[in-house]
Chain A
Protein backbone atom coordinates (compact mmCIF):
# COMPACT_ATOMS: atom_id res chain seq x y z
CA UNK A 1 0.00 0.00 0.00
CA UNK A 2 2.72 2.49 0.90
CA UNK A 3 5.36 1.44 -1.58
CA UNK A 4 7.62 4.28 -2.73
CA UNK A 5 6.24 3.91 -6.25
CA UNK A 6 2.78 4.68 -5.04
CA UNK A 7 3.48 8.35 -5.59
CA UNK A 8 1.77 11.54 -4.63
CA UNK A 9 -1.82 10.75 -5.41
CA UNK A 10 -1.64 7.86 -2.98
CA UNK A 11 -0.41 10.06 -0.20
CA UNK A 12 -3.10 12.66 -0.76
CA UNK A 13 -5.75 10.00 -0.34
CA UNK A 14 -5.03 7.76 2.62
CA UNK A 15 -4.95 4.11 1.58
CA UNK A 16 -8.24 2.38 2.21
CA UNK A 17 -10.20 5.63 2.26
CA UNK A 18 -13.53 5.55 0.54
CA UNK A 19 -12.40 7.81 -2.27
CA UNK A 20 -9.18 5.90 -2.79
CA UNK A 21 -11.14 2.69 -3.09
CA UNK A 22 -13.58 4.29 -5.49
CA UNK A 23 -10.69 5.43 -7.64
CA UNK A 24 -9.06 2.00 -7.55
CA UNK A 25 -12.30 0.42 -8.68
CA UNK A 26 -12.65 2.91 -11.53
CA UNK A 27 -9.11 2.03 -12.60
CA UNK A 28 -9.88 -1.65 -12.31
CA UNK A 29 -12.52 -1.34 -15.00
CA UNK A 30 -10.00 -0.02 -17.45
CA UNK A 31 -7.07 -2.26 -16.57
CA UNK A 32 -8.04 -4.72 -19.30
CA UNK A 33 -8.20 -2.06 -22.02
CA UNK A 34 -4.96 -0.55 -20.83
CA UNK A 35 -3.32 -3.97 -20.85
CA UNK A 36 -4.65 -4.59 -24.35
CA UNK A 37 -3.19 -1.32 -25.62
CA UNK A 38 0.14 -1.86 -23.85
CA UNK A 39 0.62 -5.41 -25.12
CA UNK A 40 -0.45 -4.45 -28.63
CA UNK A 41 1.98 -1.53 -28.54
CA UNK A 42 4.82 -3.63 -27.13
CA UNK A 43 4.46 -6.34 -29.76
CA UNK A 44 4.06 -3.74 -32.51
CA UNK A 45 7.47 -2.33 -31.58
CA UNK A 46 9.28 -5.59 -30.75
CA UNK A 47 7.94 -7.49 -33.73
CA UNK A 48 7.86 -4.61 -36.22
CA UNK A 49 9.91 -6.63 -38.69
CA UNK A 50 8.00 -9.85 -38.17
CA UNK A 51 4.67 -8.75 -39.58
CA UNK A 52 2.81 -8.62 -36.24
CA UNK A 53 0.67 -5.73 -37.43
CA UNK A 54 0.06 -7.14 -40.90
CA UNK A 55 -3.62 -7.55 -41.65
CA UNK A 56 -3.07 -11.26 -42.27
CA UNK A 57 -1.61 -11.70 -38.79
CA UNK A 58 -4.22 -9.56 -37.06
CA UNK A 59 -6.90 -11.60 -38.79
CA UNK A 60 -5.15 -14.71 -37.57
CA UNK A 61 -5.21 -13.41 -34.00
CA UNK A 62 -8.90 -12.66 -34.36
CA UNK A 63 -9.60 -16.17 -35.60
CA UNK A 64 -7.73 -17.67 -32.66
CA UNK A 65 -9.44 -15.38 -30.20
CA UNK A 66 -12.97 -16.13 -31.39
CA UNK A 67 -13.60 -19.53 -29.73
CA UNK A 68 -11.79 -18.37 -26.57
CA UNK A 69 -13.92 -15.23 -26.51
CA UNK A 70 -17.15 -17.20 -26.86
CA UNK A 71 -16.11 -19.53 -24.04
CA UNK A 72 -15.04 -16.55 -21.96
CA UNK A 73 -18.47 -14.92 -22.34
CA UNK A 74 -20.08 -18.09 -20.97
CA UNK A 75 -17.51 -18.48 -18.20
CA UNK A 76 -18.18 -14.88 -17.14
CA UNK A 77 -21.65 -15.97 -16.03
CA UNK A 78 -20.33 -18.99 -14.13
CA UNK A 79 -17.72 -16.94 -12.26
CA UNK A 80 -20.08 -14.02 -11.65
CA UNK A 81 -22.53 -16.44 -10.03
CA UNK A 82 -19.65 -17.57 -7.77
CA UNK A 83 -19.44 -20.89 -9.57
CA UNK A 84 -16.75 -22.22 -11.87
CA UNK A 85 -16.89 -24.49 -14.91
CA UNK A 86 -13.80 -26.62 -15.43
CA UNK A 87 -15.49 -28.81 -18.03
CA UNK A 88 -15.57 -26.24 -20.86
CA UNK A 89 -12.59 -27.68 -22.76
CA UNK A 90 -14.07 -31.18 -22.84
CA UNK A 91 -17.43 -29.78 -23.95
CA UNK A 92 -15.67 -28.10 -26.89
CA UNK A 93 -14.20 -31.43 -27.97
CA UNK A 94 -17.42 -33.41 -27.64
CA UNK A 95 -19.42 -30.69 -29.36
CA UNK A 96 -17.01 -30.64 -32.32
CA UNK A 97 -17.29 -34.41 -32.70
CA UNK A 98 -21.07 -34.44 -32.39
CA UNK A 99 -21.24 -31.60 -34.91
CA UNK A 100 -19.03 -33.53 -37.32
CA UNK A 101 -20.96 -36.78 -37.09
CA UNK A 102 -24.46 -35.34 -37.10
CA UNK A 103 -23.75 -32.80 -39.85
CA UNK A 104 -22.45 -35.65 -41.97
CA UNK A 105 -25.38 -37.90 -41.17
CA UNK A 106 -28.27 -35.46 -40.97
CA UNK A 107 -27.18 -32.10 -42.33
CA UNK A 108 -26.41 -28.58 -41.21
CA UNK A 109 -29.25 -27.77 -38.85
CA UNK A 110 -29.40 -31.10 -37.07
CA UNK A 111 -25.64 -31.07 -36.59
CA UNK A 112 -25.52 -27.55 -35.24
CA UNK A 113 -28.42 -28.08 -32.86
CA UNK A 114 -27.06 -31.42 -31.66
CA UNK A 115 -23.67 -29.85 -30.93
CA UNK A 116 -25.18 -26.97 -28.98
CA UNK A 117 -27.41 -29.51 -27.25
CA UNK A 118 -24.27 -31.21 -25.92
CA UNK A 119 -23.53 -27.98 -24.05
CA UNK A 120 -27.06 -27.60 -22.75
CA UNK A 121 -27.03 -31.16 -21.44
CA UNK A 122 -23.57 -30.92 -19.89
CA UNK A 123 -24.46 -27.61 -18.24
CA UNK A 124 -27.69 -29.02 -16.85
CA UNK A 125 -25.88 -32.00 -15.38
CA UNK A 126 -23.20 -29.71 -13.90
CA UNK A 127 -25.78 -27.35 -12.47
CA UNK A 128 -28.24 -29.89 -11.13
CA UNK A 129 -25.58 -31.95 -9.39
CA UNK A 130 -23.82 -28.99 -7.85
CA UNK A 131 -27.03 -27.30 -6.70
CA UNK A 132 -29.24 -30.22 -5.76
CA UNK A 133 -26.59 -32.54 -4.34
CA UNK A 134 -24.74 -29.54 -2.90
CA UNK A 135 -21.34 -30.34 -4.31
CA UNK A 136 -19.19 -27.33 -5.25
CA UNK A 137 -19.26 -26.75 -8.99
CA UNK A 138 -15.47 -26.90 -8.86
CA UNK A 139 -15.64 -30.62 -8.07
CA UNK A 140 -18.65 -31.47 -10.22
CA UNK A 141 -17.20 -29.86 -13.33
CA UNK A 142 -13.80 -31.39 -12.63
CA UNK A 143 -15.47 -34.79 -12.68
CA UNK A 144 -17.45 -33.91 -15.78
CA UNK A 145 -14.22 -32.84 -17.46
CA UNK A 146 -12.99 -36.39 -17.11
CA UNK A 147 -16.28 -37.99 -18.13
CA UNK A 148 -16.83 -35.85 -21.21
CA UNK A 149 -13.20 -36.09 -22.31
CA UNK A 150 -13.48 -39.86 -22.06
CA UNK A 151 -16.69 -39.95 -24.07
CA UNK A 152 -15.10 -37.73 -26.72
CA UNK A 153 -12.08 -40.03 -26.92
CA UNK A 154 -14.31 -43.05 -27.36
CA UNK A 155 -16.47 -41.45 -30.00
CA UNK A 156 -14.16 -41.77 -32.94
CA UNK A 157 -11.27 -43.77 -31.50
CA UNK A 158 -9.04 -40.73 -31.13
CA UNK A 159 -9.35 -39.97 -34.86
CA UNK A 160 -10.42 -36.65 -36.25
CA UNK A 161 -13.74 -36.70 -38.02
CA UNK A 162 -13.75 -34.66 -41.23
CA UNK A 163 -16.67 -32.34 -41.97
CA UNK A 164 -17.52 -32.08 -45.65
CA UNK A 165 -20.34 -29.61 -45.52
CA UNK A 166 -19.64 -26.31 -47.25
CA UNK A 167 -22.49 -24.55 -45.56
CA UNK A 168 -21.29 -25.54 -42.07
CA UNK A 169 -17.74 -24.43 -42.83
CA UNK A 170 -18.90 -21.16 -44.35
CA UNK A 171 -21.27 -20.21 -41.54
CA UNK A 172 -19.00 -21.25 -38.67
CA UNK A 173 -15.49 -20.24 -39.35
CA UNK A 174 -14.04 -20.45 -42.79
CA UNK A 175 -16.48 -18.08 -44.48
CA UNK A 176 -16.91 -14.34 -44.34
CA UNK A 177 -19.48 -11.67 -44.99
CA UNK A 178 -17.67 -9.29 -47.29
CA UNK A 179 -14.30 -8.67 -45.63
CA UNK A 180 -15.57 -9.71 -42.18
CA UNK A 181 -14.80 -13.25 -41.06
CA UNK A 182 -17.83 -15.16 -39.81
CA UNK A 183 -15.84 -15.95 -36.66
CA UNK A 184 -15.67 -12.25 -35.90
CA UNK A 185 -19.40 -11.92 -36.45
CA UNK A 186 -20.13 -14.77 -34.04
CA UNK A 187 -17.79 -13.24 -31.47
CA UNK A 188 -19.67 -9.95 -31.69
CA UNK A 189 -22.96 -11.81 -31.37
CA UNK A 190 -21.71 -13.54 -28.21
CA UNK A 191 -20.44 -10.21 -26.87
CA UNK A 192 -23.72 -8.39 -27.45
CA UNK A 193 -25.97 -11.20 -26.21
CA UNK A 194 -23.78 -11.73 -23.13
CA UNK A 195 -23.50 -8.05 -22.33
CA UNK A 196 -27.23 -7.43 -22.65
CA UNK A 197 -28.00 -10.53 -20.57
CA UNK A 198 -25.67 -9.49 -17.76
CA UNK A 199 -26.36 -5.77 -17.65
CA UNK A 200 -29.84 -5.28 -19.02
CA UNK A 201 -31.83 -8.37 -18.14
CA UNK A 202 -33.30 -9.20 -14.77
CA UNK A 203 -31.64 -12.59 -14.96
CA UNK A 204 -28.17 -11.05 -15.23
CA UNK A 205 -28.83 -8.85 -12.24
CA UNK A 206 -29.88 -11.91 -10.27
CA UNK A 207 -26.67 -13.67 -11.34
CA UNK A 208 -24.68 -10.74 -9.95
CA UNK A 209 -26.68 -10.69 -6.71
CA UNK A 210 -26.43 -14.45 -6.25
CA UNK A 211 -22.69 -14.41 -6.81
CA UNK A 212 -22.13 -11.48 -4.48
CA UNK A 213 -24.17 -12.80 -1.57
CA UNK A 214 -26.21 -15.90 -2.13
CA UNK A 215 -27.86 -15.87 1.27
CA UNK A 216 -28.95 -12.25 0.94
CA UNK A 217 -30.24 -12.87 -2.57
CA UNK A 218 -32.17 -15.83 -1.24
CA UNK A 219 -33.67 -13.77 1.55
CA UNK A 220 -34.95 -11.33 -1.08
CA UNK A 221 -36.73 -14.16 -2.83
CA UNK A 222 -34.32 -14.64 -5.73
CA UNK A 223 -34.35 -18.27 -6.76
CA UNK A 224 -30.63 -18.68 -6.44
CA UNK A 225 -30.70 -22.40 -7.27
CA UNK A 226 -32.14 -21.71 -10.68
CA UNK A 227 -29.78 -18.78 -11.21
CA UNK A 228 -26.75 -20.96 -10.48
CA UNK A 229 -27.95 -23.78 -12.72
CA UNK A 230 -28.60 -21.21 -15.45
CA UNK A 231 -25.10 -19.79 -15.11
CA UNK A 232 -23.52 -23.23 -15.52
CA UNK A 233 -25.80 -24.03 -18.47
CA UNK A 234 -24.76 -20.74 -20.07
CA UNK A 235 -21.10 -21.56 -19.62
CA UNK A 236 -21.34 -25.07 -21.09
CA UNK A 237 -23.60 -23.95 -23.96
CA UNK A 238 -21.16 -21.20 -24.91
CA UNK A 239 -18.37 -23.78 -24.82
CA UNK A 240 -20.37 -26.06 -27.10
CA UNK A 241 -20.85 -23.19 -29.50
CA UNK A 242 -17.10 -22.53 -29.39
CA UNK A 243 -16.73 -26.20 -30.36
CA UNK A 244 -18.97 -25.57 -33.37
CA UNK A 245 -16.80 -22.59 -34.36
CA UNK A 246 -13.61 -24.63 -34.07
CA UNK A 247 -15.14 -27.50 -36.03
CA UNK A 248 -16.26 -25.02 -38.70
CA UNK A 249 -12.87 -23.37 -38.99
CA UNK A 250 -10.83 -26.58 -39.04
CA UNK A 251 -13.51 -28.64 -40.86
CA UNK A 252 -13.00 -31.48 -38.37
CA UNK A 253 -14.25 -32.75 -35.08
CA UNK A 254 -11.55 -34.04 -32.74
CA UNK A 255 -11.27 -35.27 -29.16
CA UNK A 256 -8.55 -32.82 -28.16
CA UNK A 257 -10.01 -29.57 -29.47
CA UNK A 258 -10.28 -27.09 -26.63
CA UNK A 259 -8.35 -29.36 -24.32
CA UNK A 260 -5.82 -26.71 -23.36
CA UNK A 261 -8.18 -23.75 -23.37
CA UNK A 262 -9.48 -23.86 -19.80
CA UNK A 263 -6.76 -21.76 -18.18
CA UNK A 264 -6.70 -19.38 -21.12
CA UNK A 265 -10.44 -18.82 -20.78
CA UNK A 266 -10.33 -18.27 -17.03
CA UNK A 267 -7.39 -15.90 -17.43
CA UNK A 268 -9.26 -13.96 -20.12
CA UNK A 269 -12.34 -13.62 -17.92
CA UNK A 270 -10.43 -12.61 -14.80
CA UNK A 271 -8.19 -10.13 -16.62
CA UNK A 272 -11.40 -8.68 -18.01
CA UNK A 273 -12.51 -7.62 -14.54
CA UNK A 274 -14.75 -10.51 -13.48
CA UNK A 275 -14.24 -11.50 -9.88
CA UNK A 276 -13.05 -15.05 -9.33
CA UNK A 277 -15.30 -15.07 -6.27
CA UNK A 278 -18.54 -13.91 -7.79
CA UNK A 279 -20.66 -10.78 -7.73
CA UNK A 280 -18.75 -8.79 -10.31
CA UNK A 281 -18.55 -9.54 -14.00
CA UNK A 282 -17.83 -7.94 -17.35
CA UNK A 283 -18.66 -9.58 -20.66
CA UNK A 284 -16.87 -6.91 -22.70
CA UNK A 285 -13.83 -7.31 -20.46
CA UNK A 286 -13.85 -11.07 -21.02
CA UNK A 287 -13.86 -10.62 -24.81
CA UNK A 288 -10.99 -8.13 -24.64
CA UNK A 289 -9.26 -10.53 -22.26
CA UNK A 290 -9.62 -13.27 -24.88
CA UNK A 291 -8.09 -10.94 -27.47
CA UNK A 292 -5.19 -10.29 -25.11
CA UNK A 293 -4.60 -14.00 -24.61
CA UNK A 294 -4.68 -14.65 -28.37
CA UNK A 295 -2.37 -11.71 -28.99
CA UNK A 296 0.09 -12.99 -26.37
CA UNK A 297 0.00 -16.44 -27.89
CA UNK A 298 0.62 -15.08 -31.34
CA UNK A 299 3.28 -12.58 -30.25
CA UNK A 300 5.20 -15.12 -28.18
CA UNK A 301 5.27 -17.49 -31.15
CA UNK A 302 6.43 -14.75 -33.50
CA UNK A 303 9.12 -13.84 -30.98
CA UNK A 304 10.40 -17.38 -31.45
CA UNK A 305 9.66 -18.61 -27.93
CA UNK A 306 9.56 -22.35 -27.58
CA UNK A 307 6.31 -23.98 -26.50
CA UNK A 308 7.70 -24.51 -23.01
CA UNK A 309 8.55 -20.83 -22.61
CA UNK A 310 5.15 -19.82 -23.94
CA UNK A 311 3.57 -21.94 -21.25
CA UNK A 312 5.68 -20.24 -18.59
CA UNK A 313 4.81 -16.77 -19.87
CA UNK A 314 1.13 -17.57 -19.97
CA UNK A 315 1.23 -19.05 -16.47
CA UNK A 316 2.85 -15.90 -15.09
CA UNK A 317 0.17 -13.75 -16.67
CA UNK A 318 -2.61 -15.87 -15.19
CA UNK A 319 -1.10 -15.52 -11.72
CA UNK A 320 -0.92 -11.75 -12.19
CA UNK A 321 -4.56 -11.64 -13.23
CA UNK A 322 -5.66 -13.64 -10.21
CA UNK A 323 -3.54 -11.42 -7.97
CA UNK A 324 -5.44 -8.39 -9.27
CA UNK A 325 -8.72 -10.14 -8.59
CA UNK A 326 -7.70 -10.96 -5.01
CA UNK A 327 -6.67 -7.37 -4.39
CA UNK A 328 -10.04 -6.16 -5.50
CA UNK A 329 -11.67 -8.67 -3.17
CA UNK A 330 -9.85 -7.43 -0.11
CA UNK A 331 -10.90 -3.88 -0.77
CA UNK A 332 -14.59 -4.67 -0.77
Chain B
Protein backbone atom coordinates (compact mmCIF):
# COMPACT_ATOMS: atom_id res chain seq x y z
CA UNK B 1 0.00 0.00 0.00
CA UNK B 2 1.08 3.54 -0.58
CA UNK B 3 -0.10 6.81 0.85
CA UNK B 4 -0.03 8.64 -2.44
CA UNK B 5 -1.19 6.06 -4.94
CA UNK B 6 -4.89 5.88 -5.58
CA UNK B 7 -6.44 2.46 -5.68
CA UNK B 8 -9.63 4.21 -4.75
CA UNK B 9 -13.10 3.33 -5.69
CA UNK B 10 -14.88 0.97 -7.97
CA UNK B 11 -17.73 1.48 -10.37
CA UNK B 12 -20.04 4.14 -8.91
CA UNK B 13 -23.31 2.79 -7.59
CA UNK B 14 -22.06 -0.75 -6.97
CA UNK B 15 -22.57 -1.86 -3.36
CA UNK B 16 -19.33 -1.68 -1.40
CA UNK B 17 -20.42 -2.63 2.09
CA UNK B 18 -23.66 -4.31 3.02
CA UNK B 19 -24.50 -4.82 6.68
CA UNK B 20 -27.62 -6.79 7.56
CA UNK B 21 -29.47 -7.28 10.84
CA UNK B 22 -26.89 -5.53 12.99
CA UNK B 23 -27.70 -5.66 16.73
CA UNK B 24 -25.65 -4.58 19.71
CA UNK B 25 -26.61 -4.37 23.37
CA UNK B 26 -24.68 -2.86 26.25
CA UNK B 27 -25.95 -4.63 29.34
CA UNK B 28 -29.64 -3.78 29.44
CA UNK B 29 -29.49 -1.09 26.75
CA UNK B 30 -30.27 -2.19 23.21
CA UNK B 31 -28.11 0.32 21.34
CA UNK B 32 -28.70 -1.20 17.92
CA UNK B 33 -31.50 -3.51 16.85
CA UNK B 34 -31.71 -5.27 13.50
CA UNK B 35 -30.29 -2.40 11.46
CA UNK B 36 -29.32 -2.93 7.83
CA UNK B 37 -27.38 -0.47 5.73
CA UNK B 38 -25.81 -0.41 2.30
CA UNK B 39 -22.91 1.78 1.23
CA UNK B 40 -22.19 2.19 -2.50
CA UNK B 41 -19.08 3.25 -4.32
CA UNK B 42 -19.11 6.88 -5.34
CA UNK B 43 -22.05 7.62 -3.09
CA UNK B 44 -22.30 9.45 0.21
CA UNK B 45 -24.75 7.91 2.67
CA UNK B 46 -25.94 10.05 5.55
CA UNK B 47 -26.53 8.32 8.87
CA UNK B 48 -29.00 10.42 10.82
CA UNK B 49 -30.61 10.23 14.20
CA UNK B 50 -30.91 11.92 17.55
CA UNK B 51 -28.33 11.56 20.29
CA UNK B 52 -28.28 7.98 21.47
CA UNK B 53 -30.00 6.67 18.34
CA UNK B 54 -27.16 4.21 17.77
CA UNK B 55 -25.22 5.96 14.99
CA UNK B 56 -21.80 5.79 16.61
CA UNK B 57 -22.45 2.23 17.75
CA UNK B 58 -23.17 1.19 14.18
CA UNK B 59 -20.02 2.91 12.92
CA UNK B 60 -17.93 1.25 15.62
CA UNK B 61 -19.34 -2.14 14.64
CA UNK B 62 -18.38 -1.53 11.01
CA UNK B 63 -14.93 -0.27 12.07
CA UNK B 64 -14.08 -3.32 14.16
CA UNK B 65 -14.12 -1.41 17.43
CA UNK B 66 -17.25 -3.18 18.71
CA UNK B 67 -18.40 -6.68 17.92
CA UNK B 68 -22.10 -6.78 17.00
CA UNK B 69 -24.22 -9.32 18.89
CA UNK B 70 -25.91 -10.27 15.62
CA UNK B 71 -25.67 -9.32 11.98
CA UNK B 72 -23.62 -9.98 8.87
CA UNK B 73 -21.28 -7.69 6.97
CA UNK B 74 -20.30 -8.25 3.36
CA UNK B 75 -17.72 -6.28 1.46
CA UNK B 76 -17.79 -6.46 -2.33
CA UNK B 77 -20.31 -9.24 -1.93
CA UNK B 78 -18.10 -11.40 0.26
CA UNK B 79 -19.13 -12.00 3.84
CA UNK B 80 -16.49 -10.73 6.27
CA UNK B 81 -15.87 -10.70 9.98
CA UNK B 82 -14.34 -7.48 11.33
CA UNK B 83 -12.88 -8.55 14.67
CA UNK B 84 -10.43 -5.65 15.08
CA UNK B 85 -9.80 -2.13 13.77
CA UNK B 86 -6.81 -3.60 11.95
CA UNK B 87 -9.07 -6.04 10.14
CA UNK B 88 -11.35 -3.19 9.08
CA UNK B 89 -8.41 -1.27 7.69
CA UNK B 90 -7.09 -4.21 5.76
CA UNK B 91 -10.56 -4.67 4.24
CA UNK B 92 -10.37 -1.11 2.96
CA UNK B 93 -12.48 0.56 5.65
CA UNK B 94 -11.11 3.73 7.20
CA UNK B 95 -12.86 5.50 10.05
CA UNK B 96 -12.72 8.99 11.46
CA UNK B 97 -14.21 8.65 14.93
CA UNK B 98 -15.89 11.60 16.52
CA UNK B 99 -13.64 11.87 19.53
CA UNK B 100 -10.75 9.62 18.56
CA UNK B 101 -9.54 11.45 15.51
CA UNK B 102 -5.91 12.27 16.27
CA UNK B 103 -3.29 11.72 18.96
CA UNK B 104 -2.63 15.17 20.43
CA UNK B 105 0.99 14.64 21.44
CA UNK B 106 2.17 13.22 18.11
CA UNK B 107 3.02 15.42 15.16
CA UNK B 108 1.04 15.55 11.95
CA UNK B 109 3.17 13.08 10.01
CA UNK B 110 3.20 10.64 12.92
CA UNK B 111 -0.58 10.83 13.09
CA UNK B 112 -1.02 10.32 9.37
CA UNK B 113 1.11 7.17 9.46
CA UNK B 114 0.13 5.86 12.87
CA UNK B 115 0.15 2.06 12.87
CA UNK B 116 1.17 2.14 9.19
CA UNK B 117 4.65 3.45 9.67
CA UNK B 118 7.22 3.17 6.91
CA UNK B 119 10.29 1.29 8.05
CA UNK B 120 13.86 1.27 6.84
CA UNK B 121 17.22 -0.31 7.53
CA UNK B 122 16.85 -3.57 5.62
CA UNK B 123 15.63 -6.79 7.18
CA UNK B 124 17.10 -6.00 10.59
CA UNK B 125 15.63 -2.50 10.69
CA UNK B 126 12.24 -3.84 9.65
CA UNK B 127 12.37 -6.49 12.31
CA UNK B 128 13.13 -3.84 14.93
CA UNK B 129 10.61 -1.44 13.46
CA UNK B 130 13.05 1.34 12.59
CA UNK B 131 11.01 4.33 11.43
CA UNK B 132 11.64 6.00 8.09
CA UNK B 133 10.99 9.56 9.29
CA UNK B 134 12.14 11.17 6.06
CA UNK B 135 9.92 9.18 3.77
CA UNK B 136 6.89 9.62 6.03
CA UNK B 137 7.37 13.39 6.23
CA UNK B 138 7.83 13.68 2.49
CA UNK B 139 4.75 11.62 1.70
CA UNK B 140 2.74 13.38 4.37
CA UNK B 141 3.54 16.69 2.76
CA UNK B 142 2.66 15.36 -0.66
CA UNK B 143 -0.60 13.79 0.47
CA UNK B 144 -1.79 16.86 2.35
CA UNK B 145 -0.84 18.97 -0.66
CA UNK B 146 -2.81 16.75 -2.99
CA UNK B 147 -5.83 17.06 -0.73
CA UNK B 148 -5.23 20.77 -0.44
CA UNK B 149 -5.01 20.51 3.35
CA UNK B 150 -2.91 23.35 4.68
CA UNK B 151 -1.05 22.73 7.94
CA UNK B 152 1.54 25.25 9.19
CA UNK B 153 4.14 22.67 10.18
CA UNK B 154 4.12 18.90 9.91
CA UNK B 155 6.36 18.70 12.95
CA UNK B 156 3.81 20.39 15.12
CA UNK B 157 1.92 18.28 17.66
CA UNK B 158 -1.64 17.69 16.55
CA UNK B 159 -2.89 19.08 19.86
CA UNK B 160 -1.64 22.49 18.78
CA UNK B 161 -3.64 22.56 15.57
CA UNK B 162 -7.06 24.15 15.20
CA UNK B 163 -10.12 21.94 15.29
CA UNK B 164 -10.47 22.12 11.52
CA UNK B 165 -6.84 21.24 10.91
CA UNK B 166 -7.05 18.27 13.27
CA UNK B 167 -10.14 16.99 11.53
CA UNK B 168 -8.50 17.53 8.15
CA UNK B 169 -5.53 15.45 9.27
CA UNK B 170 -7.88 12.69 10.42
CA UNK B 171 -9.75 12.73 7.13
CA UNK B 172 -6.47 12.98 5.27
CA UNK B 173 -5.41 9.79 6.99
CA UNK B 174 -8.57 8.07 5.82
CA UNK B 175 -8.11 9.28 2.27
CA UNK B 176 -4.35 8.97 1.98
CA UNK B 177 -4.42 5.21 2.06
CA UNK B 178 -6.58 4.82 -0.96
CA UNK B 179 -9.29 3.22 1.10
CA UNK B 180 -12.52 2.32 -0.63
CA UNK B 181 -14.89 2.79 2.27
CA UNK B 182 -14.67 5.78 4.59
CA UNK B 183 -16.77 6.19 7.74
CA UNK B 184 -16.99 9.73 9.12
CA UNK B 185 -18.50 10.29 12.57
CA UNK B 186 -19.47 13.97 12.83
CA UNK B 187 -16.38 15.20 11.00
CA UNK B 188 -17.49 18.80 11.09
CA UNK B 189 -18.78 19.02 14.65
CA UNK B 190 -17.28 22.01 16.43
CA UNK B 191 -15.85 23.46 13.23
CA UNK B 192 -16.20 27.00 11.93
CA UNK B 193 -17.98 27.85 8.69
CA UNK B 194 -14.91 27.94 6.49
CA UNK B 195 -13.39 24.82 8.00
CA UNK B 196 -16.67 22.98 7.56
CA UNK B 197 -16.72 23.98 3.91
CA UNK B 198 -13.24 22.52 3.50
CA UNK B 199 -14.29 19.24 5.10
CA UNK B 200 -17.31 19.07 2.79
CA UNK B 201 -15.02 19.65 -0.19
CA UNK B 202 -12.93 16.72 0.97
CA UNK B 203 -16.03 14.56 1.13
CA UNK B 204 -17.04 15.59 -2.40
CA UNK B 205 -13.56 14.69 -3.60
CA UNK B 206 -13.91 11.27 -2.03
CA UNK B 207 -17.22 10.79 -3.77
CA UNK B 208 -15.74 11.83 -7.10
CA UNK B 209 -12.92 9.33 -6.58
CA UNK B 210 -15.48 6.55 -6.26
CA UNK B 211 -15.11 6.04 -2.52
CA UNK B 212 -18.10 4.80 -0.52
CA UNK B 213 -18.69 7.30 2.29
CA UNK B 214 -20.82 7.06 5.41
CA UNK B 215 -21.38 10.42 7.04
CA UNK B 216 -22.87 10.90 10.48
CA UNK B 217 -24.14 14.42 10.92
CA UNK B 218 -26.76 16.48 12.70
CA UNK B 219 -26.80 19.15 10.05
CA UNK B 220 -29.58 18.75 7.46
CA UNK B 221 -28.09 21.36 5.11
CA UNK B 222 -25.04 19.17 4.90
CA UNK B 223 -27.15 16.13 4.07
CA UNK B 224 -28.91 17.93 1.25
CA UNK B 225 -25.55 19.34 0.14
CA UNK B 226 -23.32 16.30 -0.16
CA UNK B 227 -25.31 13.13 0.47
CA UNK B 228 -26.98 10.83 -2.04
CA UNK B 229 -29.01 8.74 0.35
CA UNK B 230 -29.88 8.88 4.01
CA UNK B 231 -30.53 6.28 6.67
CA UNK B 232 -32.31 7.38 9.83
CA UNK B 233 -31.95 5.62 13.18
CA UNK B 234 -34.23 6.10 16.12
CA UNK B 235 -33.73 4.34 19.45
CA UNK B 236 -31.48 1.78 17.85
CA UNK B 237 -33.80 0.91 14.96
CA UNK B 238 -33.82 2.00 11.37
CA UNK B 239 -36.88 4.16 10.81
CA UNK B 240 -36.21 5.50 7.34
CA UNK B 241 -34.05 4.98 4.29
CA UNK B 242 -34.47 7.58 1.56
CA UNK B 243 -32.89 9.03 -1.56
CA UNK B 244 -31.92 12.55 -0.58
CA UNK B 245 -33.24 14.11 -3.78
CA UNK B 246 -36.71 12.77 -3.00
CA UNK B 247 -37.18 14.44 0.39
CA UNK B 248 -37.02 17.86 1.98
CA UNK B 249 -35.11 18.98 5.00
CA UNK B 250 -38.33 18.95 6.99
CA UNK B 251 -39.03 15.35 6.01
CA UNK B 252 -35.62 14.35 7.35
CA UNK B 253 -36.23 16.14 10.63
CA UNK B 254 -39.59 14.42 10.92
CA UNK B 255 -37.93 11.02 10.47
CA UNK B 256 -35.35 11.82 13.12
CA UNK B 257 -37.84 13.02 15.70
CA UNK B 258 -40.18 10.15 14.96
CA UNK B 259 -42.95 12.33 13.57
CA UNK B 260 -42.90 10.33 10.33
CA UNK B 261 -41.62 7.01 9.04
CA UNK B 262 -40.88 5.90 5.51
CA UNK B 263 -41.21 2.17 5.96
Contacts and interface: CB of A to CB of B under 8 A. Distances in A.
B131 A200 contact: yes
Contacts, number: 78
Contact of A208 (B86, B105, B115, B128): B105
Given A201-B130, A201-B131, A205-B117, A219 B85 contact: yes
Interface residues of A, number: 26
A10 interface: no
Contact of B114 (A200, A209, A215): A209
Interface in A190-215: 200-203, 205-206, 208-209, 212-213, 215
A272 to B, nearest CB: 16
A253 interface: no
A72 to B, nearest CB: 20
| Chain A residues touching B, majority SS | helix
A216 B97 contact: yes
A222 B129 CA distance: 14
A219 B65 contact: yes
Interface string B139-168: 000000000000000001101101000000
A203 B106 CA distance: 14
B108 interface: no
Interface in B63-122: 63-65, 84-86, 88-89, 95, 97, 99-106, 110, 114-115, 117, 119
B103 A219 contact: no
A332 B110 contact: no
Given A219-B85, A221-B89, A202 B119 contact: yes
A205 B114 contact: yes
A200 B100 contact: no
Given A213-B100, A221-B115, A205 B105 contact: no
A220 B85 contact: yes
B103 A201 contact: no
**Which of A206, A208, A209, A222: most chain B CB closer than 10 A?**
A209
A284 B213 CA distance: 44
A220 B115 contact: yes
A205 B131 CA distance: 9
B160 A200 contact: no
A224 to B, nearest CB: 11
Contacts of B95: 219
Contacts of A332: 104-105, 159
Contacts of B128: 201
A332 B162 CA distance: 12
Nearest to A202: B129
Interface string A303-332: 000000000000000000000000000001
Contacts of B97: 216, 219
Contacts of A217: 103, 114-115
A172 B202 CA distance: 59
A219 B170 CA distance: 12
A200 B130 contact: yes
Contacts of B63: 219
A202 B95 CA distance: 22
A22 B160 contact: yes
Given A219-B85, A219-B100, A212 B106 contact: yes
A18 B129 CA distance: 34
Given A201-B128, A213-B100, A215-B100, A208 B106 contact: yes
A94 B154 CA distance: 46
A205 B130 contact: no
A279 interface: yes
Contacts of A200: 130-131, 133
B115 A206 contact: yes
Contacts of A208: 103, 105-106
Given A213-B103, A279-B105, A221 B86 contact: yes
Contacts of A203: 129
A201 B118 CA distance: 10
A203 B157 CA distance: 19
Contacts of B64: 221
A22 B156 CA distance: 9
A280 interface: yes
Nearest to A18: B160
A98 B263 CA distance: 73
Contacts of B110: 205
B130 to A, nearest CB: 6
Given A203-B129, A208-B106, A280-B105, 9 more contacts: A25-B160, A200-B131, A205-B106, A212-B104, A212-B106, A215-B100, A217-B103, A220-B114, A221-B86
6 contacts: A25-B157, A201-B128, A202-B130, A209-B115, A217-B114, A219-B65
Interface of A: 18, 21-22, 25, 200-203, 205-206, 208-209, 212-213, 215-222, 275, 279-280, 332
Interface of B: 63-65, 84-86, 88-89, 95, 97, 99-106, 110, 114-115, 117, 119, 128-131, 133, 156-157, 159-160, 162
